[in-house]
């Protein structure tokens, strides 16, 4: 997402002289201009997306007020504080150079400095120049175009084709409330949830929108959300064993999505994974389970059967998550 930020310009200094009855040669009393406000990025846990910038791509801070007579200085312009979610990467829009990487809450960075206010003529009075008739203008502010990119900060990423049960699993493991329905649809925005693994041990789980073949080339919603998976320590690969589509099998789905990960980022393809078979409460899934288990075991993968509807196998999954994350933390 591309946005423009500009600090406030500095106020001009004032040329003024004191003129009062019975006070001849009162001297210069022009005040200084106020400094312009800065544009500041601040991370906030209450902000989850960069959607607000889509409707406000131009962001200017307030300029400083001009100086006035009677030694009155101009007011400093107010800073413009823009809240961004943790995991935001800020780049220069022209060079693509990474300028800031926001990973902690309440992190504040000035992205565009305001201009300095000009000096009034009272500042230039000396013993040899007691009536200066000049002042300096305010300095221009910093202006730049920035490119914002969000990569969620999560310990575990839920990976899989659309409608394999990622959102349902997230709602079972945490207090997150993603949209869940009985009809097929795909999640459009990522969701985060905090899961309790053990006493005083928690982890952040990200529900990534469903991927499809060709996601690394921009097909579907995958390209925008594959970036979120890059920062996860562990991936949970969900497979729907209840599918009855011709020419499609759990192993082929597993291979296809891992191919998308490798095409997007070779490093991401080597990320540790836990393979999970979902919807095991359905008769079709129970019938296919022995064959699927043999297939994955032969390829060197352990696969865990779960049912989010009946909560069967969830405790075993949580134990596996705790053990694997303990090795990675």
Domain ranges of the chain: 1-150, 156-328
- pLDDT tens, residue order, the chain (329 aa): 899 999 999 999 999 999 888 888 889 999 999 999 999 999 988 787 787 888 899 999 999 999 999 999 999 999 999 999 888 899 999 888 999 988 888 899 999 999 999 999 999 999 899 999 999 999 999 999 999 988 766 788 888 887 788 888 888 888 766 555 443 444 446 677 778 887 767 788 877 766 655 544 444 455 555 666 777 888 899 998 887 665 568 888 888 888 878 887 777 778 888 999 988 988 888 988 999 999 989 988 889 999 888 888 889 988 888 888 888 76
What b/e sequence results for 217-252 when a residue is b if at least 16 CB atoms lie within 10 Å of its CB, and e otherwise? eeebbbbebbbbbebbbbbbbbbbbbbeeeeebbbe
Question: Are 281 and 309 contacting, i.e. CB atoms less than 8 angstroms apart?
Answer: yes
Burial class (CB in 10 A: 0-12, 13-18, 19+), 293: middle
Q: Quick one: tokens of 296?
A: 């994955």
CATH class of 156-328: alpha beta
Looking at residue 48, its pLDDT comes to 72
Looking at residue 184, its pLDDT comes to 45
Helix, strand, coil tally for the chain in percent (to 5): 25, 25, 50
Question: Are 276 and 238 contacting, i.e. CB atoms less than 8 angstroms apart?
Answer: yes
Residue 290: count other Cβ atoms within 10 Å of its Cβ.
9
Question: Are 328 and 272 contacting, i.e. CB atoms less than 8 angstroms apart?
Answer: yes
- The CA distance from 193 to 178, in Å, is 9
* Consecutive H or E run containing 173: helix 166-173
* 164: alpha, beta or left? (left if phi > 0; alpha if psi -120 to 50): alpha
Q: Domain 1-150: give its CATH architecture.
A: Distorted Sandwich (2.70)
- The CA distance from 99 to 20, in Å, is 54
pTM of the model: 0.66
- The CA distance from 48 to 210, in Å, is 19
In CATH terms, are 1-150 and 156-328 the same topology? no
Residue 198: count other Cβ atoms within 10 Å of its Cβ.
10
């Amino acid at each position: 997402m591309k946005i423009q930020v500009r600090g406030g310009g500095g106020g001009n200094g004032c040329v003024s002289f004191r003129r009062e009855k019975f006070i001849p040669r009162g001297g210069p009393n022009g005040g200084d201009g106020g400094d312009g406000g800065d544009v500041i990025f601040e991370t906030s846990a209450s902000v989850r997306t960069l959607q607000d910038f889509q409707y406000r791509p131009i962001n200017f801070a307030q300029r400083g007020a001009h100086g006035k007579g009677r030694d009155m200085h101009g007011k400093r312009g107010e800073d413009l504080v823009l809240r961004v979610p943790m995991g935001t990467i800020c780049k220069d829009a022209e060079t693509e150079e990474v300028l800031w990487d926001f990973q902690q809450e309440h992190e504040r960075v000035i992205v565009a400095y305001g201009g300095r206010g000009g000096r009034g003529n009272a500042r230039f009075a000396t013993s040899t120049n007691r009536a200066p008739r000049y002042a300096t203008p305010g300095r221009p502010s910093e202006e730049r175009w920035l490119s914002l990119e969000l990569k969620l900060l999560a310990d575990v990423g839920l990976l899989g084709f659309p409608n394999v049960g990622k959102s349902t699993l997230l709602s079972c493991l945490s207090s997150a409330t993603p949209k869940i329905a009985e009809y097929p649809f795909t999640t459009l925005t990522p969701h985060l949830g905090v899961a309790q693994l053990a006493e005083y041990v928690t982890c952040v789980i990200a529900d990534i929108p469903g991927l499809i073949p060709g996601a690394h080339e921009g097909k579907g919603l995958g390209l925008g959300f594959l970036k979120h998976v890059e920062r996860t320590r562990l991936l949970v690969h969900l497979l729907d064993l209840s599918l009855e589509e011709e020419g499609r099998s759990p192993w082929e789905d597993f291979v296809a999505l891992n191919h998308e990960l490798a095409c997007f980022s070779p490093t991401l393809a080597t990320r540790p994974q836990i393979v999970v078979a979902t919807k095991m409460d359905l008769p079709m899934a129970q019938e296919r389970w022995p064959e699927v288990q043999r297939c994955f075991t032969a390829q060197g993968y352990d696969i865990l059967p779960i049912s989010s509807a009946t909560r069967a196998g969830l405790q075993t999954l949580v134990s596996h998550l705790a053990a694997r994350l303990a090795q990675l933390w």
